[in-house]
Amino acid sequence: VNLILLEPDEMRHDSTARLSDTRAAHVRDVLQAGTGDVIRIGVVDGPRGTAIVESIDDQGVALSCSLHDPPSPRPAVDLLLALPRPKVMRRLFAQLAALGVDRILLTNAARVERHYFDTHVLTPACYRPLLVEGLQQARETQLPRVSVHRQFRVLVEDVLEPPTSSTTRAVAHPGAGRRLHEVVGAGRASRVLLALGPEGGWNEFELALLESRGFVPISMGMRPLRSDTACVALLALAHDAVAAQGARPPDPAAVPARDGLVMTSHT
């Protein structure tokens, strides 16, 4: 934990807050903070700053907060993920929040087992604390927005906004294919929406539907990876590709965008 996150309603009007749960135990036992010490804090979906420990005992911790840093911008990456096994999904939430994802769209697909959707891992009561754990690790405050979609086609056709030139859409598919960096570099977009299928891959219908909505097939090579490994790897590549867009002059060696894919008539 590199920052203690407070819920907005925990912050009183006089900028004090009182913790009595595992966060209080963390401040006391791991940070070993005493009265007068200063710790790093943040507010969920809000600013960051520091807090002075006003009192600390077995009952909890009283903080006097100073939120001097504005919230960082929301991450520039969205993830459309075919729901993995509940055990894997559970392990992923904190890592997704730590790496930085704006929206997590969890979807059905032909090769997703239906009963995966019945798990309590998809309830906010289960995943919200995991997301907060990831944010506390990464010293961030912007909570990913999670939504669950049992109908893949409805999600892609009706829920997703039409493609725009400001977002590169990419669909990961095992086997040979273009690199994500290449596709993002060609599109010159400042955001990435990444679609990652089940371990067995998208089926032909799903892939065609995604392509018709502007998703460009990309690959990380020939190795089939576990969903959680693939997800972390792809998010790292997506963030790096977006950062490269900001940092680099235009690259004449990049492959040009294919019309109708990166930008479609829906724009």
Residues that bind a copy of itself (CB under 8 A): 2, 94-95, 98-100, 137-140, 179-182, 220-226, 229, 232-237, 239-240, 243-244, 247-253
Tell me the residue type at 252: P
Q: How far is the CB of 233 from a copy of itself (least distance, A)?
A: 3
Q: How far is the CB of 12 from a copy of itself (least distance, A)?
A: 29
The three-class DSSP label of residue 228 is helix
Q: Which is nearer to a copy of itself, 11 or 143 (CB)?
A: 143
Q: Which is nearer to a copy of itself, 189 or 235 (CB)?
A: 235
Contacts of residue 85, Cβ cutoff 8 Å, sequence gap at least 6: 116, 227
Q: Which is nearer to a copy of itself, 93 or 152 (CB)?
A: 93
Q: Which is nearer to a copy of itself, 96 or 160 (CB)?
A: 96
Q: Where are the beta strands (DSSP E) in 70-166?
A: 77-82, 103-107, 145-149
Q: How far is the CB of 20 from a copy of itself (least distance, A)?
A: 26
Q: How many CB atoms lie within 10 A of CB 34?
A: 11
Distance (Å, rounded) from C-alpha 183 to C-alpha 260? 14
Residue located via tokens 């009183």: 12
- Exposed/middle/buried for residue 9 (C-beta within 10 Å: 0-12, 13-18, 19+): exposed
Q: How far is the CB of 229 from a copy of itself (least distance, A)?
A: 5
Q: Which is nearer to a copy of itself, 252 or 256 (CB)?
A: 252
For the CA atoms of 232, 25, 124, 74, the dihedral, rounded to the nearest 10 degrees, stands at -50
Q: Which is nearer to a copy of itself, 133 or 206 (CB)?
A: 133
Query: Which among 167, 164, 177, 182 is positioned nearest to 266, based on CA atoms?
Result: 164
Distance (Å, rounded) from C-alpha 107 to C-alpha 241? 25
Q: How many CB atoms lie within 10 A of CB 192?
A: 26
Q: How far is the CB of 31 from a copy of itself (least distance, A)?
A: 13
Instruction: Supply 237's token pair.
Output: 């590549």
Q: How far is the CB of 16 from a copy of itself (least distance, A)?
A: 27
Distance (Å, rounded) from C-alpha 188 to C-alpha 89? 31
Q: Which is nearer to a copy of itself, 114 or 223 (CB)?
A: 223
Q: How far is the CB of 237 from a copy of itself (least distance, A)?
A: 6
